[in-house]
Amino acid sequence: MCNLYRNDPKLDDWVAFFAEYLNLPVILDAGGDTLANRPWAKEVYPKYDGLFMRPVDAKAPEAGLEPAVGRWGVVPFFHKGTAKAWKFPTNNCRSEEMAAKASFRDAVKSKRCIIPVSSFCEHTGPKGKMTRHTIRAAGGKPLFLAGLWASHSWEGEQTDSYTMVMMEAQQGDDMRRFHNRQPIVLDRDSARTWLNLGAPFAPILKAGPPGTLAFDPPDPVPA
C-alpha cells in the first residue's frame, strides 16, 4: 500500500496539467491566491495535509473541479471525536471493499476526487535496510490518482480528508514486482468515469499497459 508520495508543482501548474492531460477545468475562486492560507506538504505521509481536486458540483463534475487541502487519511463523518483522535489507517482503501466499508461507502456514493501526484514510493529489500523506489509516469508527466474524500465536524472543528483508492497488482502489471497493491492511475476517459457518480467504475479498475510507470531504482531488491 502507498504511504508516501510527492506533490511538487505549484497550484497554477496543476491547473494547467489538469487542462492538458485530463481536459478538466480547475476553478480558482481567488485566482492564484486560492488556498494561499492552506499550504500542503510536498512530501506527503499519512496524516499530513495534501492537495486533492474535487468537483464543484458532484452531479456535474465536467463543469469544473476545485482544489482542496485535507488530511491524508479519511476521518469519516460518523467519528465521535477530534480528527487527531481517529487512529485507524485510512490513507488507502481497497477498491474491492470500499463500497461496503463504513469509512468509505458514503464517499464512494457522493465524494470522489482526484489526487495529483508527482511521484509515489514503495520499498523493497530486507527490513532495516529497505530501498526506496520512486515511481513516476513514464515520459515525465504527472500522475492523477483515484481518491475519495470526506468531511468531518466535531465541536467546531472542521476537517476535510481523503484516501487513495488501491487495487490488486495483477501478473504483468508494472507494479507487480514491487508490491501486490497499486493506485488507480486515471487518464482522460477514466477520470470522467471515476467522477461520474452515475457511471459504473469497475471497468476503470485496471492498470495501464506495460511501461506506463517508471521506477528509480528500476529493480526490486530481494528481502
Nearest to 91 by CA among 25, 41, 36: 41
pLDDT score recorded for residue 116:
98
pLDDT score recorded for residue 218:
97
Per-residue model confidence as pLDDT tens digits over 127-138: 889 999 999 999
Average pLDDT over residues 84-101: 96
Res. 223 pLDDT band, cuts 50 70 90: confident
Nearest to 75 by CA among 102, 37, 108: 102
CA distance 134 to 121: 5
pLDDT score recorded for residue 31:
85
Residue 1 has pLDDT above 80, yes or no: no
Sequence spans of domains, the chain:
5-216
Per-residue model confidence as pLDDT tens digits over 193-219: 999 999 999 999 999 999 999 999 999
CATH top-level class of 5-216: alpha beta
CA distance 40 to 181: 26
CA distance 176 to 169: 5
Average pLDDT over residues 31-54: 95
pLDDT score recorded for residue 17:
98
pLDDT score recorded for residue 157:
95
pLDDT score recorded for residue 82:
97
Does the pTM surpass 0.75? The reply is yes
pLDDT score recorded for residue 30:
87
Instruction: Tell me the three-class secondary structure of the chain, residue by residue.
Output: CCCCEECCCCHHHHHHHHHHHHCCCECCCCHHHCCCCCCCCCEECCCCEEEEEEECCCCCHHHCEEEEEEEECCCCCCCCCCCCCCCCCCCEEECCCCCCCCCCHHHHHHCEEEEEECEEEEEECCCCCCEEEEEEECCCCCEEEEEEEEEEEECCEEEEEEEEEEEECCCCCHHHHCCCEEECECCHHHHHHHHCCCCCCHHHCCCCCCCCEEEECCCCCCC
Q: Rounded mean pLDDT of the chain?
A: 96
Q: Express as a percent the part of the chain with pLDDT over 90.
A: 95
CA distance 134 to 184: 17
Residue 58 has pLDDT above 90, yes or no: yes
Per-residue model confidence as pLDDT tens digits over 21-32: 999 999 999 888
Res. 100 pLDDT band, cuts 50 70 90: very high
